[in-house]
Chains A and B, each alone.
Chain A
Amino acid sequence: MIELKNVSLKLKGKELLKNINITAENGEIVGLVGYNGSGKTLIMKCICGFINQYTGTIKVDGVDIRTISVEKLDMGIQIEVPSFLSFYSGFKNLKMLAGLKGNINDEDISEVMKLVGLNPDSKLCVAKYSLGMRQRLGIAQALMENPNILILDEPFNSLDYEVSQNIRRILLKEKEKGKTILITSHNLYDIETLCDKTYQVEKGEIV
């Protein structure tokens, strides 16, 4: 469960978020919709603990995230355009990331890559990936350690219709498992067809 109460953020004297209140229950997909630059990604960065200068409270599974370090939050995240080490294959990139926590094996990585429609045996380096493939690899890295909470920033960007449908199915399955999923999009259709609850963000405010 994610809970934001009266979250405001000022950086370099500029008020970027104003009085944000959001609740995402377990087994719920919650969407943040808004134009580019409206503050959706900033909200996500605050939830993930990458920004601490906000006022108000953010609780994840009942714990104030200010009292816990980022790596202890059981979250799979994909924020901004997914970026990886370009000279390694997708599998190798995921393996390197997985090695940091060390709680999944090669088979788990292969499985999650297949799930998003990528070939784990391919030697193609990420530099040669299309935007859609990178996006899928980004989603795979968020999913691979089976976290309880998924934070996905514009997960449908650069994906064609079929792949989008597959990702939707994956997210719905994760929701059935009782996971909390927060996604952003500037496309209202993406959000409406998938989310249980939607918040519209405009100029750093929920409207």
Chain B
Amino acid sequence: MKREVWILAKQEYLSWLLNTRNVAVLIFVVFVRKAVVLPLIYMANKYHTVLNWAESSIAVANSGVSVLLISVILLTVLSGLPRIDNDFYNIVSRVGMKSWCKAQLVFMYLAVVTFWLFVFFSTWVQTAYLSYIEDGWSLVTTQYSGDTAIENLLPLNLYNQMPPLKAFMFTYLLMFLYFLFTMNVLVLGTLYGKKNLTTIGLVILLAVGVAAAAAKVKWMWLFPVSHSILILHCQKYYRAQLFPIWLSVLLLLAFNVFMTILIYRRMVSVDGEILKGN
């Protein structure tokens, strides 16, 4: 990688970390605490038992509402990407359009990984003190979920079909690929000077996808967000999956590769003025 690409990506990343817009992640933390962490802790305390280390992190990514919230927060905290203000001219005149675009892509990957890790750690840390590290579901999930939200977040579909480690890995792999998909679409839209329109389109795609997933209609698989939710793939009792997980991984991966190629092709010829939406 060219030296200036890395320097610029690093500068963009550090400025992004300091951006006040990131306060939006607090909404996520509060939501997770109320909807996932407190019910889990309550049931664990009630029955004098402990949780599996991965359960809270899996639960947070397995409901349409939380995926909707996580995605909207992702779009909010990364809405400034790629950063195109008047400083843009000062930067592009020094590094050129191609290096600028590459730096924005590197910055995007760094930011997506950071957000993805944040989703995991901010949830995990709240239940870590009450957890054990073994590859087996806790009694809270399998026996004592009762009428609480846990029954919906960590349902039969999941714990009957795979151990927590496998569920955790698939959950976070699908989530990561979905985050990348969202940001790749946003960057591509920006390269065509349609950033606002792309953002609106992404939110609509997300909302309709979540609604379709909630209604469990067959055409929910037309929406990328459905592929990112692990429990939608699994049945309650049969090992056969409603939609193969590996195919969802492959589809999201293929979309991301395709988008990246389109982005690269576009960045070679794009005008600075188009990027600014003029």
The interface of chain A, by Cβ under 8 A from chain B, is 11, 45, 48, 50-53, 69-73, 75-85, 87, 96-97, 99-102, 141
Residues on A with C-beta less than 8 A from B8 are 100
Check: B86 CB closer than 8 A to any chain A CB: yes
Q: B277 CB to closest chain A CB, in angstroms?
A: 11
Q: Which residue of A lies closest to B20 (CB)?
A: A87
Q: How far is the CA of A97 from the CA of B95 in the complex (A)?
A: 10
Residues on B with C-beta less than 8 A from A87 are 15, 18
Q: How far is the CA of A161 from the CA of B117 in the complex (A)?
A: 53
Residues on B with C-beta less than 8 A from A72 are 96
Q: List B86-114 residues whose CB lies under 8 Å from chain A.
A: 86-87, 89-99
User: Is the pair B87, A101 in contact by a Cβ cutoff of 8 Å?
Assistant: no
User: Is the pair A79, B86 in contact by a Cβ cutoff of 8 Å?
Assistant: yes
Q: How far is the CA of A8 from the CA of B42 in the complex (A)?
A: 70
Residues on B with C-beta less than 8 A from A79 are 86, 89
User: Is the pair B278, A82 in contact by a Cβ cutoff of 8 Å?
Assistant: no
Contact of B93 among A11, A48, A102 (CB under 8 A): A48
Q: How far is the CA of A162 from the CA of B3 in the complex (A)?
A: 40
Contact of A11 among B7, B85, B90, B278 (CB under 8 A): B278
User: Is the pair B96, A69 in contact by a Cβ cutoff of 8 Å?
Assistant: yes
User: Is the pair B93, A71 in contact by a Cβ cutoff of 8 Å?
Assistant: yes
The 26 sampled A-B contact pairs (Cβ below 8 Å) are: A50-B89, A50-B92, A50-B271, A50-B273, A51-B271, A51-B272, A51-B273, A52-B269, A52-B271, A70-B93, A70-B97, A71-B99, A76-B93, A77-B89, A77-B93, A78-B89, A79-B86, A79-B89, A81-B86, A82-B86, A82-B90, A96-B11, A97-B94, A99-B7, A100-B4, A100-B7
Residues on A with C-beta less than 8 A from B92 are 50, 70-71
Which residue, of B18, B93, B272, has the highest number of chain A Cβ atoms within 10 A? B93
Q: How far is the CA of A81 from the CA of B88 in the complex (A)?
A: 11
Assuming the contacts A45-B273, A51-B273, A80-B89, asked whether A71 and B96 have C-beta atoms less than 8 A apart, the reply is yes
Residues on A with C-beta less than 8 A from B93 are 48, 70-71, 73, 75-77
Q: A75 CB to closest chain B CB, in angstroms?
A: 6
Q: B257 CB to closest chain A CB, in angstroms?
A: 26
Q: A91 CB to closest chain B CB, in angstroms?
A: 15
* Interface contacts beyond A50-B273, A51-B271, A87-B18: sample of 6 additional A-B pairs, CB < 8 Å, sorted by A: A45-B272, A52-B271, A70-B92, A83-B87, A85-B87, A87-B15
Contact of A100 among B85, B89, B95 (CB under 8 A): B95
Residues on B with C-beta less than 8 A from A76 are 93
User: Is the pair B91, A100 in contact by a Cβ cutoff of 8 Å?
Assistant: yes
Q: How far is the CA of A84 from the CA of B94 in the complex (A)?
A: 15
Assuming the contacts A51-B271, A69-B97, asked whether A97 and B91 have C-beta atoms less than 8 A apart, the reply is yes
List of 10 A-B pairs having minimum Cβ-Cβ separation, nearest first:
A83-B86, A50-B272, A71-B96, A100-B94, A69-B96, A79-B89, A83-B87, A51-B273, A83-B85, A100-B4
Q: How far is the CA of A53 from the CA of B96 in the complex (A)?
A: 17
Q: How far is the CA of A81 from the CA of B15 in the complex (A)?
A: 20
